[in-house]
Chain A
Amino acid sequence: DAGVIQSPRHEVTEMGQEVTLRCKPISGHDYLFWYRQTMMRGLELLIYFNNNVPIDDSGMPEDRFSAKMPNASFSTLKIQPSEPRDSAVYFCASSFGRGNNEQFFGPGTRLTVL
C-alpha cells in the first residue's frame, strides 16, 4: 500500500488567499484525522471523520477552516482566507476499525502564509 498521501507537500501563499490541502487515506481505512503541528502548540487534532462523516471538529480553530470528506478515498482541509498564523505543518492520518487507535500518518503539508 502507498500509505497516506498528502498534497501538496509544500505550499506558499499570501495572506488572504484560499488554501486547499488534500489527503488520500489508506484504502479500507474508515477513520481520517487532520492535525496541525507548530512549534508553539505542538501536534493538535483539528477534526476527524468516521465513514466520511465528521465526528469531532472541536479542534478547528475558527470559521476560516473547513474540512470535507466527499468519499472514502479523499478529504480536503480548506483555509479561507489564510493568515500568517496558519503557517504550520498539516498532517493527515487514517486508521481502521473502532477501538483501533493505531493511526498511520501522511508526510504532511508545510504551509507558509506570507
Chain B
Amino acid sequence: AQSVTQPDIHITVSEGASLELRCNYSYGATPYLFWYVQSPGQGLQLLLKYFSGDTLVQGIKGFEAEFKRSQSSFNLRKPSVHWSDAAEYFCAVGKVAAGNKLTFGGGTRVLVKP
C-alpha cells in the first residue's frame, strides 16, 4: 500500500527566511505527487503537482518542489517566506489504478515569526 510521511509536524521560520518541507512516499512505481496548503478554517488548495517530466516543479505562491526518485522524496521549498505562508501543508500521493484516490501525509504546520 502506498504511504506518505511528513517527518516534521511543526516548523517555525522567520519571515524572509527560506523554507523546506519534507515529504517521503512509499510506492512501487512513479506516483503522482501533490502539495496542498490549508489556511486556518479553509479547505485544501493545490500548490503544485508532479506527474512526469522535469523533476523540479513550480507552483503557485512562489513554491517549488523537487521529485527525487532515488530518495522517494518530494520536498517543498520557498526561498523567502511571507507571513501569509503560515498554514498547514500536506503532501499527497496518488495513482491511476486507485481511481484518482489520494493518500495524504500527516501535514506540517508552519509558523512564521515576524
Contact status of A55 and B99, CB under 8 A, knowing A42-B106, A101-B94, A108-B43: yes
Q: Is the CB of A31 within 8 A of B44?
A: no
- B30 → chain A, closest Cβ, in Å? 13
Chief secondary structure at chain B's binding surface: strand
- A99 → chain B, closest Cβ, in Å? 4
Contact status of A101 and B32, CB under 8 A, knowing A45-B101, A55-B99, A107-B43: yes
State the total of A-B contacts with C-beta under 8 angstroms: 56
Q: Is the CB of B100 within 8 A of A43?
A: no
**Range of interface residues on chain B?**
20 to 34
**Hey, what's the 0/1 contact readout for A79-112 against B, CB within 8 Å counting as 1?**
0000000000001010100111111111110000
Q: Does A34 touch B at the CB level, under 8 Å? A: no
Looking at A42, A48, A56, A103, which has the most chain B CB atoms within 10 Å of its CB?
A103
Q: Which residues A56-96 have CB closer than 8 A to chain B?
A: 56, 91, 93, 95
Question: CB within 8 Å of A: which residues of B?
Answer: 32, 34, 36, 42-46, 49, 90, 92, 94-96, 99-102, 104, 106-107
Question: CB within 8 Å of B: which residues of A?
Answer: 4, 31, 33, 42-43, 45, 48, 50, 55-56, 91, 93, 95, 98-108
Q: Can you list 20 pairs linking A and B with CB atoms under 8 Å apart?
A: A4-B43, A31-B99, A31-B100, A33-B101, A50-B99, A50-B100, A55-B99, A91-B43, A95-B100, A98-B96, A99-B96, A101-B95, A102-B34, A102-B49, A103-B46, A105-B36, A105-B45, A106-B43, A108-B42, A108-B43
